[in-house]
């Protein structure tokens, strides 16, 4: 008997044809920012992430203008695929930062609650090493097919077979030169870089607001920042 699958999670990707042309300059820019950033937090097992070290506005840095253009272009395509009317929303890059993962470093489970869309661009991925460079893991927190709470717990033996309908996570193998877009609320992590080479990527947080002309949407979408007013007192 057939089973239909509804409510899919939409993960967008594009392999950027000009990626090799910009790879070296992007790697150099990222490593320079890492060197110039705030003192490294004392977590040697964690990858260096710019947002935790004062480097989270690379979208304003001319060194990253090419990839910023790509993010803007493909975010529009992604939203159109999701059925969004782009004439009624404004899009902003809220934050953007580099990530450098060395041997045995990873990024823990998290989501980007202050944004709406997350983007990741893979500048450099170790490919010659036979070991895993670190995979992007998406977690199935909704568990829409878990008909009884705890049914899929790893502490039980109730699930006889792991399959598409009961999977708790999926691992996404990174591809050098690939841009990936997904809902920012989706919990994710990056597994350990098991190679002896650098894994370098960029992350972007993107925000949607209603346009000035879409006043009827203000109940549901954030109004345009041009209509906000900062408190004059209480600081």
Superfamily of segment(s) 12-212: q2cbj1_9rhob like domain (2.60.120.620)
Task: Name the DSSP class of 139.
Answer: E
User: What separation, in Å, do the N-terminal and C-terminal C-alpha atoms of the chain show?
Assistant: 64
- Res. 42 pLDDT band, cuts 50 70 90: low
- Cα gap 66→64, rounded to integer Å: 6
- Res. 234 pLDDT band, cuts 50 70 90: low
Does the structure show a pLDDT above 70 at 102? Answer: yes
- Cα gap 34→100, rounded to integer Å: 8
Closest CA to 137 of 194, 192, 183, 191: 191
In contact, 176 and 138? CB cutoff 8 Å: no
Task: Name the DSSP class of 45.
Answer: T
CA atoms within 13 Å, Cβ hemisphere of 165:
12
Does the structure show a pLDDT above 80 at 59? Answer: yes
Task: Name the DSSP class of 17.
Answer: T
pLDDT attached to residue 119: 98
Mean pLDDT of 88-117: 96
Show the beta-strand stretches assigned E in the chain.
Answer: 12-15, 48-49, 89-101, 107-110, 117-124, 136-139, 169-172, 178-183, 188-190, 199-210
CA atoms within 13 Å, Cβ hemisphere of 161:
3
Angle between helix axes 19-36 and 65-81 (nearest 10 degrees) is: 110
Tokens representing residue 53 in the block: 């070290």
Confirm whether pTM is higher than 0.85.
Answer: yes
Mean pLDDT of 131-154: 88
């Amino acid at each position: 008997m057939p089973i239909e699958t509804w409510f899919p999670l939409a993960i967008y990707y594009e392999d950027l044809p000009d990626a090799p042309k910009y790879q070296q300059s992007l790697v150099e820019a990222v490593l320079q920012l890492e060197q110039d950033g705030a003192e490294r937090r004392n977590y040697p097992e964690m990858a260096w992430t710019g947002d935790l070290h004062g480097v989270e506005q690379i979208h304003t840095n001319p060194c990253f203008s090419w990839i910023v253009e790509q993010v803007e272009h493909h975010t529009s395509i992604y939203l159109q695929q999701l059925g969004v009317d782009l004439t009624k929303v404004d899009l902003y890059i809220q934050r953007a930062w580099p990530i450098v993962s060395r041997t045995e470093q990873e990024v823990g489970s998290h989501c980007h609650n202050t944004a709406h869309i997350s983007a990741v661009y893979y500048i450099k991925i170790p490919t010659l090493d036979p070991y895993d460079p670190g995979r992007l893991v998406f977690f199935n927190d909704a568990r829409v097919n878990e008909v009884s709470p705890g049914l899929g717990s790893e502490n039980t033996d109730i699930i006889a077979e792991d399959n598409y309908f009961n999977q708790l996570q999926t691992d996404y193998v990174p591809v050098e030169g690939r841009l990936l877009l997904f809902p920012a609320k989706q919990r994710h992590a990056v597994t350990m870089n098991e190679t002896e080479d650098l894994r370098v990527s960029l992350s972007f947080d993107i925000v949607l607001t209603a346009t000035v002309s879409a006043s009827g949407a203000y109940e549901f979408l954030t109004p345009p920042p041009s209509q906000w007013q900062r408190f004059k007192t209480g600081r």
